[in-house]
Amino acid sequence: MTATDEALMPIAEPASLINPQLPRLAWLVAAAIAVILGILVGPLLLGWSWWSVPFVAGIALLIGLPAWSAVVEGRRAAVDRTVTLLVFYAVTGALVPLVWVLGYTVAKGLPAIDWNFLTHDQTSKLDPVTFKQLPGAGVLHAILGTLWITLGAAVISIPIGLMTAVYLVEYGRGTWVARTTTILVDVMTGIPSIVAGLFAVALFTEFGGPGTRIGVMGSVALSLLMIPTVVRAGEEMMRLVPADLREASYALGVPKWRTIVKVVIPTAFGGIVTGVMLAISRVIGETAPLLVAVGAMDYFNNNLFSERMATLPVYIISQYKQGAGPLQNAWGAALLLIAIVMVLNIVARIIGTIFAPKTGR
């Protein structure tokens, strides 16, 4: 082929380095079509309830958008859009019930919360005929009782849990005692809460006789549920402490116990506090062990070692059983319980951020 022939040949266009892409609003168009299909197929064609629309539309979108993407963009883009939709569905499935519960509780419980509700106990408003609680009955005794019993559980659980974690990480690594302890901690993590309440009742019945019901019984029952969480949190956080820090301390002649107190625990302190707060948040709303071990009380008792004590979970159950009027009080107490748990979680995050190891120079 001569140079003249090569000059007369048509020049081939360079291959595009950018694959075709769907329009920016393709997902919005696909979602609109999926909703229309959900309405047509669910309630209109099959006679299902309107609750079926989001499910049918979700399935239609999961099929339609990746199929459209496969035709235009190719298989890899279609797979990417499929995984993105599945992740979005998972996040939505987690957030929708949470937001729904919070919104419904706020809507139902907020009207019941006022100054009288927060500063009086149940004896403040009793029906003189039926002796049932009226809608304005206070919840102060249940709030303070919950805080006292939870504080008692924390006093029992935190030292035991942390010392157990220190033993598993620093002293008993690889021994049969540590392996047995780990198995027992895992078993305790899964025990039903009612079993903890029955254990507390059986324990204190041996000393106080049948019918013994005091506040510390609730603390003991809740501590059985807290200890495994504290142990696991402390163990995992201490294992994350670099071995170099321990070795540097040993090289300076510092004994092991002082290394644990001055190096290991301070380094893991933020994570440990977060785990402890999460353990408290987990047990503060337990109902079964408190109902069995502590019972109910209409007024405030500030002595953990004498008489029954009121708690928010048991208060909610008792108000719910009384009917429509006190039911509003139950929603108000539920809202207060959620608020306490949220405050504890926020405090845990703040403490964890403050005491987190500094990574900067």
Q: What angle, 0 to 180 degrees and rounded to 10, lies between the N-to-C axes of helices 52-72 and 75-109? A: 160
| 268 neighbors 309 (Cβ within 8 angstroms) | no
Terminal-residue alpha carbon distance, the chain = 69
Residues 6+ away with beta carbon under 8 Å from 311: 142, 145, 146, 149, 218, 290, 294
CA angle 27, 76, 28 (to 5 degrees): 0
- Tokens found for residue 355: 């005491």
Distance, CA of 271 to CA of 268 (rounded, Å):
6
* Partner residues linked to 133 by β-bridges: 126
DSSP states of 227-253: HHHHHHHHHHHHHTS-HHHHHHHHHTT
Distance, CA of 120 to CA of 315 (rounded, Å):
14
DSSP states of 15-82: PPSS-----TTHHHHHHHHHHHHHHIIIIIII---TTHHHHHHHHHHHHHHHHHHHHHT-HHHHHHHH
**Smallest Cα–Cα separation from 313: which of 280, 285, 279?**
285
Beta-carbon count within 10 A of 33 CB: 16
CATH 1.10.3720.10 segments of the chain: 122-354
Residue with tokens 């071990």: 293
| 185 neighbors 228 (Cβ within 8 angstroms) | yes
- Helical H runs in the chain? 3-8, 26-39, 52-72, 75-109, 115-119, 140-166, 176-189, 193-208, 215-239, 243-251, 256-259, 265-283, 288-293, 312-321, 324-354
- With 0-12 / 13-18 / 19 or more C-beta atoms within 10 angstroms meaning exposed / middle / buried, residue 282 is middle
CATH, range 122-354: 1.10.3720.10
- With 0-12 / 13-18 / 19 or more C-beta atoms within 10 angstroms meaning exposed / middle / buried, residue 312 is buried
pLDDT of residue 224: 92
| 188 neighbors 283 (Cβ within 8 angstroms) | no
Furthest C-alpha separation in the chain? 116
- Tell me the pLDDT of the chain (361 aa) as tens digits: 555 555 555 554 444 446 677 888 888 888 888 888 888 887 888 778 888 888 888 888 888 888 888 888 888 888 988 999 999 999 998 898 889 989 999 998 888 888 888 887 777 555 556 655 555 567 888 889 999 999 999 999 999 999 999 999 988 888 888 899 989 998 888 888 889 989 999 988 888 778 788 888 999 999 999 999 999 999 999 998 888 888 888 888 889 889 998 889 888 888 888 888 888 988 888 888 888 888 877 778 888 888 888 888 988 888 887 765 667 888 888 999 999 988 888 888 887 777 766 655 5
